[in-house]
Amino acid sequence: MSSDESAVFAGYRPLGYVSNHIPCITRYIQRRKEHLIVTVTGKSFHTYGSNKLGILSVSKQHPEDITALSADTNLVITSAANNIYLWKRGTELRGILKGHEHPVHLILPFAHKI
């Protein structure tokens, strides 16, 4: 890095290298007193801690590329093809919602409903 370049966001540069076109989401975890940043990287998603932008977890592989990403207070919600996946802590698969006729591209959680 040359002396005339800003180093303000230098620690956040790796996030831009691994994320794709799907917008990242943030979640605040009261117990950790930290925001978590969740971003999609093809067939999996990564969770970063915002304090030092350290990677906290990498999800298991989905059968196809992830097409949508969302979250509520307890779960990270992803979709791949016609299925919606519910994740706890970014690595524990809690459920799969099947039966959609078309690929899911938008997930809007509302309270405890999707």
pLDDT for the residue numbered 73? 81
Buried b (16+ CB within 10 A) or exposed e, 60-99: eebeeebbbbbbbeebbbbbbeebbbbbeebeeeeeeeee
Q: Is the pTM of this model over 0.75?
A: yes
The answer, yes or no, to whether residue 3 has pLDDT greater than 90, is no
Averaged pLDDT of the chain: 85
The torsion angles phi and psi of 83, rounded to 5 degrees, stand at: -115, 150
pLDDT number for residue 16: 61
Residue 5, Cβ density class (10 Å: 0-12 exposed, 13-18 middle, ≥19 buried)? exposed
Which tens digit of pLDDT belongs to each residue from 27-83? 888 988 999 999 998 899 999 898 888 889 999 999 999 999 999 888 999 999 999
Q: Are 83 and 50 in contact (CB under 8 A)?
A: no
* pLDDT given at position 6: 58
User: How distant, in Å, are the alpha carbons of 50, 55, 76, 82, 83 from that of 26?
Assistant: 9, 14, 10, 24, 22
